């Protein structure tokens, strides 16, 4: 990603020069240092990163243009590392998208509890929130994100792309479940009428591939997964409830029902338990 703080010297398509490689190595170290600082102190500081790397603050600006730029770079790395963990947890359930979906959701919760600072940075930070907006066609169908995502080459583009890769883990498996078993009952999940026709708006986003009730089921399920996880991470739920996992397990059953997986409640809860107890 090229920003005002980073200038590529290699023409597009050509092998990076030694200078470019050294520059990228330094930038990668800056991101790692900032991420370590976030974990240790709950914040990212350009001055602290420069000090930890033995650089002056002006020298740091040769690699990142601002605190916002560095924050977005750290968030992009966090998203990709989190995605790798979800995929690793889901791997034993290959061939069963419903089990993979549930395993990934439980892994998301477990990762979030272990990494509260990184969760806050990627999922509850105004800077990173501006870099990615919700995009049903991208998350459900794997299509290219639509504006107002930052276009390639601008600050935040890498973070937006990484965020959509994360969202695609859930969206693509949800769609695969529905392609196998059919969409959820429209009467149970169809969106309520609203100004401008919410149902028509949702269906227009994904065309004929995903009916409005399918998009609404995805939105409802993600809101429950994210909301419950955020409440637990930020300590807004009794600690004993968090420790037991009871609220999370109950929420997962509810999400399964929303997504049309009522017939698999028991075996999918076994998947949840396996991940929470690992």
Cβ distance 46 to 70 under 8 Å?
yes
pLDDT at 157: 84
Q: Residue 156 region, left (φ>0) first, then alpha (ψ -120 to 50), else beta?
A: left
pLDDT at 71: 94
pLDDT at 150: 59
User: CB under 8 Å to 219, separation ≥6 — which residues?
Assistant: 136, 202
Structure tokens, 90: 């889901």
Pairwise CA distance, residues 230 & 225, whole Å: 9
Cβ distance 37 to 87 under 8 Å?
no
pLDDT at 154: 64
HSE, side-chain direction, 13 A CA sphere, residue 132: 27
Helix, coil or strand: residue 155: coil
Pairwise CA distance, residues 51 & 128, whole Å: 24
Q: Which CATH number fits domain 76-276: 1.10.357, 3.40.50, 1.10.3470, 1.10.110?
A: 1.10.357
User: In the chain, which residues have pLDDT < 70?
Assistant: 1-14, 133-134, 145-154, 186-196
Pairwise CA distance, residues 193 & 211, whole Å: 15
Q: How far is CA 19 from CA 13, 30, 66, 189, 190, in A?
A: 16, 17, 22, 55, 56
pTM higher than 0.95: no
The ranges assigned to domains in the chain are 1-65, 76-276
- Per DSSP, helices labelled H in the chain are 18-41, 46-53, 57-60, 67-90, 97-114, 116-123, 126-131, 136-141, 157-181, 186-189, 198-206, 212-233, 239-244, 246-258, 265-276
């Amino acid at each position: 990603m090229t920003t005002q703080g980073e200038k590529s010297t290699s023409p597009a398509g050509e092998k990076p020069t030694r200078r470019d490689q050294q520059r990228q190595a330094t930038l990668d170290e800056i991101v790692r240092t900032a991420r370590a600082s976030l974990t240790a102190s709950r914040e990212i500081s350009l001055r602290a990163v420069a000090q930890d790397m033995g650089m002056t603050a002006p020298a740091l600006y040769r690699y990142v243009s601002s605190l916002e730029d560095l924050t977005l770079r750290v968030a992009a790395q966090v998203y990709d590392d989190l995605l790798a963990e979800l995929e690793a947890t889901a791997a034993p359930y290959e061939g069963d998208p419903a089990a993979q979906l549930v395993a990934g959701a439980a892994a998301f919760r477990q990762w979030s509890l272990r990494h509260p600072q990184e969760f806050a940075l990627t999922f509850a930070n105004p800077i990173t929130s501006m870099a990615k907006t919700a995009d049903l066609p991208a998350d459900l169908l794997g299509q290219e994100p639509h504006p107002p995502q930052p276009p390639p080459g601008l600050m935040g583009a890498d973070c937006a792309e990484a965020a959509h890769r994360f969202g695609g883990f859930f969206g693509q498996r949800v769609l695969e479940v529905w392609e196998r078993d059919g969409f959820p009952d429209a009467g149970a999940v169809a969106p309520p009428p609203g100004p401008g026709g919410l149902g028509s708006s949702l269906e227009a986003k994904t065309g004929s591939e995903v009916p409005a009730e399918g998009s609404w089921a995805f939105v409802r399920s993600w809101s429950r997964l994210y909301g419950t996880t955020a409440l637990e991470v930020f300590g807004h739920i009794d600690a004993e409830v968090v420790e037991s996992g009871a609220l999370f397990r109950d929420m997962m059953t509810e999400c399964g029902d929303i997504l049309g997986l009522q017939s698999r409640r028991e075996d999918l809860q076994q998947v949840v338990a396996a991940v929470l107890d690992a």
